[in-house]
Structure 1
Amino acid sequence: MSTTEIPRPVRDTGPARPARGGGRGALNARRAIAPALLYALLAVLILLPIALVALSAFTSTTPRPGGIGLSGLTLDNFSTVVGPGARGAALNSLAVGVGASVLALVIGGFLAFVTARTNVRGRRFLYFVGLVPMFLPSYVGALAWSVLGGPNAGLVNILARDLGLPTGFDVLNVPGLVFVLAIYYAPYAFLLVHASLSLMNPDLEESARVHGAAPWTVLRRVTLPLATPAVLGAAILIFVLTVENFPVSQIIGTAGGVDTIPTYVYRLMNSAPSRGNEAAAVALTLVAVVVVVTVLQRKVVSRRNYTTVSGKGLKLKVVDLGRFRTPALLLGLVYFAAATVLPLLALLFVTLHDSPYVSSVTGAFTQGGLSLEALTETVTNSVVHRATVNSVVVAVAAALLGTLLAFAVSYVVNRTKLPGREGLGHISMLPLAVPSIVLGLGLLWTWLILPVPVYGTLLVMVIAFVAAQMPQGFQGASAAILQVHAELEDSAVMHGASRLRAVWRITVPLLRVPLTSTFLLLLMLSMRELTVPLFLFTTDTRLLSIVIFDDLENGVLQRSAATSLLYCLVIFVLAYVTRRFGSRDRTGR
């Protein structure tokens, strides 16, 4: 009887080690491709524009088409920084930033407190009041308030003369600039403080009440100190945004002879000949101020522990306002009127008035002084048509590409162990510390010197918006990715799916709602943006924001007001359609 011997598989121990070593090297090389590509992309979008501004501040020439063209190292440009013009602009910017931050915190903090922690009348409506100014671009509000609050021809003063009341209302000065900026940046304080108050553990407040503290003492000694991170965060955010704000300062401040750092940089760039190197030096000073303020805020917050949310459920105690329930609602209505109702009514009145010069408000209604001519002319104007299409195309494209890029960067940073991933997050957040007018200046020079023919096209606008809004997109995408556990995606990979397929079929559908919210945020920011494209537009690539600004600068007030109304309508429709689309589930319900 013979037996057949079954051969055993031979373990190949010799060549295996070199092959495995080579495979590991190839795998590491493939893993490094994604971060390398993202680094290259972010370098062109963000690092190169900032570097060109910094280099231009230390040279005597600015970048030119076909090459960098920087030469002649010098420190003479910084003599402008310490000159009387820059000093005055810096002092005005400081006064405006501090004043607007304080007033915006008072407005937003008040609305946040009464809607989050009290029994105020109309609480849901007041929550809406706290958010709605975000859908009205600040420079449109500034245009409306320049119409309302001009010292001579302002509608408020004209109406006061019609009624025989005292005149003298004037917003074309530093207090007026503070007021306009504060009412349109108060929503940022509202959102941050409202979130903090809603998550606060009520046990500490209750303990203070048990020990005999009065309600306002509890608010002053317990509630507000616990909300310090949110309050400081909102204050620094609003300070930075108001100090770097160009459109409102240009519309309100310049008309009243008030210069700020952004308007001073703009004037240097538009002087004949252009003083780009001096503008770069002043812009660097603005960046340094923003960075210093941000660092100080982080140090103040890091000194204490503000954690109050524990594992047990929170049941927030509602503060009874008593007789103050109705007055609190009335204060909210006053803010609603100042930020939304009065500006829109002023723009509508100027648009419908039969003449760009208003001599009587009451007479326009009693003597038939209203006409649809200006509105009809604006709606049928080919320049406005093209600008509307350009704005929608650029905003949608920038929001889509920005969301995709932010998701890719956020995924690499938060879900992988790839080398160098942390640096991608730092670069993505860098535009937050760079004022828009500085970034716009750097983007102009970047796409002049790069051998890519995109300058003068809508594509350069899309690229600029993606770069400017990268911090908001990265934060939104990161918050979304961290909500979904990696095990769901890993399970699909274990069952044979590639990583890319698992992301597309598992992660992306689960993040549909938050990613839609990120897309909506970038869409609204792109539609509202004026400063970044200010140096990049041409006759064929004007956006609605540019048309409004140009008309106002050239004295065409009626068309500027009519275009502003159309602008607000387009923003509302885009927000509504995007929100409705994002709220639908995969079955179409």
Structure 2
Amino acid sequence: MARTIRRGEGLTLAALLLIAAALFAYPLALLLKMALVRDGAPSAGPLLEALQSASVLRALGHSLDSSASSAAIALVLGTTMALAIGLTDLRAKGPFVFFLLLPMMIPPHVTAIAWVQALGPSSPVLQWLHLAPPPGSQNPFYSRAGVVALLSLQQAPLVFLVVLAALRSLPREMSEAARIAGARPWRLLRRVLLPLLAPTLIAAFVLAFVSALGNFGIPALLGIPARYVTLPVLIWRRLASFGPSVLGDVAVLSTLLAVIAVAVIALQMALQRRLRSQLVGPPQPPLRIALGRARRWVTGGLSLWILATVALPLTALVATALVPTYGVPLTPATLTWANFAEVLLRQQATLRAFANSTLTAGGAALTLAALAALLSYYLTLRGRRPLRVAASGLAGLGEITYAIPGLVISIAFILAFLRPLPLVHLSLYNTLGIIFLAYLCAFFSIALKPVAAAYAQIDPALDDAARVSGAGFGLRLRRVFGPLVAPAAASGAILVFLTAYNEVTVSSLLWSTGTETIGTTIFNYEDGGYTVLASAMASVTVLATVVLMALLDIAGRRLPPGVVPWRV
């Protein structure tokens, strides 16, 4: 019986490793082979040749500049908000966290469209306030500063989430000792909390940097008019202009982008090892520093931030969707629902996009939830070190694919599935299948984290009791672990769906006529000058995102703490 149980565990893990090899390792290995192998031998020649191109060097410089600048700004903004929420007696923390994280869930290209419409000469909001610039004025977001500003706003919630989670896990003994010794809040922050948070701050900066490095929507919509082209945009333009014939060229550029991302993560890990502090004691509820009279100022400041970064652009987005032509002021006489009717009822491309995104994002969410539930079991398995080590390696591979920019994943999957599959002679290129598989590769880590956290809270004695009773691996999963981790798996599935439903980076190079996604359709509308249709479709997707986040918030009342990130 013991051999049967172990055989079931081993076969399941072998199946997971096979899936990982096909979806994670094989496409990326092909990418590296095309970029770094010449005449059958490894060579850095293609990379060095690419770096001799003036356009590549310029795009590389723009990518590093925008990523580093926006990550630094996001680090300051996100850390400040996390400290205000996590360490004080601020009221209504739940709603504040929900709205502070909302920009992270809105697709970057929708964010760019909303802000362009909010502060441009045709802004309906500025026209209502009689503050609109003269017609024909240069939109301030079509510039390097505009790209950096919106990347900062997009990444600040990510930093906020990481730092807030770290504050929840810090033991309170040192902070309490400092307060008993008479340390005021600023001295406590400078001498105790920030040194303890140093590894977390480094991780948050790197996450923001890597996320901005692979961002496609904001640099494409704002950078191209300003001639501020980043590496992802350069890759997209070359492949879109010349097709699969330039795969070797874009593979080299994609590898360069991936090398930068992996190098930055390796540097982060080295710095964290040097700055890590050994903490004694279990995690406890964080401090609640009394703000006193300052509470109204902190509350007002956060409220103004949400109004400026969430309400203003979204109001402009919806207002633009309600006028017949871009630039027409929104009045009772000009208000029309025709644009919503067009994208929801008449345009075949948009109807296909909604169906395709729902199908691929939903399928990826359900599949990844199941894979995460299986893999997480092995991450907490006792007494079977080889299985646990193999599972940890697979989880690490998922972290790497999440850190690698989505455009690199796209190129890797084009290389892997451009030709028909062997044996079955089925081609996945130009189908929804390749987008679905790319989603599995790109978003596996999102589904894994909440499920792994839920498994870590399960008493190992449950597994021991089930084994002693003779329950096989499948029965234990169905009757013991499945019900316990189902809420966390559902949470991970919804997070994957939210991320994949509106994304444009992964699918920008994989879509074709008939396989449009919501993200690519919105981008194509805006790029083609159909601004009011792009605004209408973007408004619908934002509404869907808010509804799904609200449902996850409701479900979070029954989930373990920390599974739903904005519940405090």
Aligned to 1:64: none
1:90-109 paired onto structure 2 within 5 Å: 90-109=60-79
Assess if the C-alpha contact under 8 Å between 1:513 and 1:583 holds in 2: no
The structure 2 residue matched to 1:376, chosen from 341, 358, 364, is 341
Aligned partners of 1:320, 1:41: CA distance in 2, in Å?
52
Query: 1:246-266: per-residue Cα shift (whole Å, max 9, x none)?
Result: 111111211221111111111
TM-score normalised over the length of structure 1: 0.85
Tell me, yes or no, if structure 1 residue 459 matches structure 2 residue 436. no
After superposition, give the CA deviation of every residue in 1:186-219 in whole Å (9 maximum; x if it has no partner): 1111112112223333332343344454431221
Matches within 5 A, 1:45-64: 45-58=23-36
Helix, strand or coil for the counterpart of 2:331?
helix
The 2-side partners of 1:333 and 1:340 are apart by 10
2:353 equivalent to 1:387: yes
Sequence identity (%)? 26
Asked if structure 2 preserves the Cα contact closer than 8 Å seen for 1:189 and 1:234, the reply is: yes
Q: Is the 8 A contact 1:410 1:481 kept in 2?
A: yes
Q: Is the 8 A contact 1:78 1:281 kept in 2?
A: no
Rounded Cα–Cα distance in structure 2 between residues aligned with 1:225 and 1:213: 15
Q: What is the CA–CA distance in structure 1 between the aligned matches of 2:418 and 2:316, rounded to whole Å? A: 41
- 2:199–2:276 CA contact under 8 A, matched in 1: no
**2:255 is matched with which residue: 284, 287, 299?**
284
Superposition map of 1:211-230 within 5 A: 211-230=181-200
1:413: Cα distance to partner?
Answer: 3.9
2:325 aligns with 355
Match of 2:544 among 562, 570, 573: 570
Whether 1:260 and 2:230 are equivalent positions in the alignment is yes
AA of the residue aligned to 1:84? A
Give the structure 1 partner of residue 502 of structure 2. 528
Closer/same/farther in 2, CA of residues 541 and 322 from structure 1, 3 Å limit: same
3-state SS, counterpart of residue 514 of structure 2: helix
Taking the aligned partners of 2:524 and 2:92, their CA distance within structure 1 comes to: 40
Amino acid at match of 2:211: L
Aligned to 2:562: none
Change (3 A) 1:294 1:164: closer
Structure 1 residues 127 and 578 mapped into 2: Cα distance closer, same or farther (>3 Å)?
Answer: closer
- 1:141 alignment partner in structure 2: 111
Kindly report which structure 2 residues correspond to 1:65-84, keeping only aligned pairs within 5 A, or say none.
Answer: 75-76=45-46, 78-84=48-54
2:83 corresponds, among 113, 118, 122, to 113
Q: TM-score, normalised by structure 2?
A: 0.88
User: d(CA) in 1 for partners of 2:489 and 2:127?
Assistant: 48
- Offset at residue 343 of structure 1 (A): 1.6
Amino acid at match of 1:409: L
Query: CA offsets, 1:343-377, max 9 Å, x none?
Result: 2111111111122234xx4xx427x2322222222
Change in Cα spacing, 1:73 to 1:324, as seen in structure 2 (3 Å) is closer
Distance 1:217 1:169 in 2: 43
What SS is found at the alignment partner of 1:571?
helix
Q: Is the 8 A contact 1:131 1:187 kept in 2?
A: yes
Unpaired stretches in structure 1, ≥5 consecutive residues: 1-19, 62-69
The Cα of 1:73 is off from its aligned counterpart by 8.5
Structure 1 residue 235: deviation in Å? 0.9
> 1:351 touches 1:374 (CA, 8 Å); kept in 2?
yes
Aligned to 2:217: 247
* Whole-Å separation in 2 of the counterparts to 1:405 and 1:230: 28
C-alpha deviation, 1:164, in angstroms: 8.6
Aligned match of 2:514: 540
1:505 Cα deviation from its structure 2 partner: 0.5
1:529 CA drift (Å): 1.9
1:78 and 1:278 in contact (8 A); partners too:
no
- Match 1:174 to one of 144, 160, 180: 144
On the 8 A contact 1:384/1:544 being kept in 2, the answer is yes
Deviation at 1:163, TM superposition (A): 6.9
Q: How many Å separate the matches in 2 of 1:164 and 1:391?
A: 37
* Root mean square deviation, CA, Å: 3.1
Which stretch of structure 1 is more off in the superposition, 469-478 or 200-209? 200-209
- Partners of 1:582 and 1:228 lie apart in 2 by 30
Asked whether the 8 Å contact 2:466–2:476 carries over to 1, the reply is yes
**3-state secondary structure, aligned to 1:255:** coil
Q: Which amino acid aligns with 2:481?
A: T
2:457 aligned counterpart, secondary structure: coil
Is the contact made by 2:31 and 2:251 (CA closer than 8 Å) also made in structure 1? yes
- Deviation at residue 411 of structure 1 after TM alignment: 2.3
| Residues 321, 533 of structure 2: 8 Å contact kept | yes
Shift, 1:181, TM fit: 1.4
| Residue identity opposite 2:254 in structure 1 | A
- Tell me by how many angstroms 1:91 deviates: 1.6
Q: Deviations over 1:360-404 (max 9, x none)?
A: x4xx427x2322222222221232222212211211111001111
1:484 maps to which residue?
A: 458
Structure 2 Cα separation of the partners of residues 474 and 120 of structure 1: 32
CA distance in structure 1 between the aligned counterparts of 2:312 and 2:538, rounded to whole angstroms: 14
Correspondence list, 1:484-503, <5 A: 484-503=458-477
Which one-letter code corresponds to 2:409 in the other structure?
L
Tell which deviates more after alignment, 342-351 or 475-484.
Answer: 475-484
Consecutive unaligned residues in structure 2, runs of 5 or more:
560-568
Q: For the residues of structure 2 that align with 1:583 and 1:332, how far apart are their CA atoms? A: 25
Please name the residue that 2:269 is paired with. 298
Q: Which has the larger radius of gyration?
A: 1
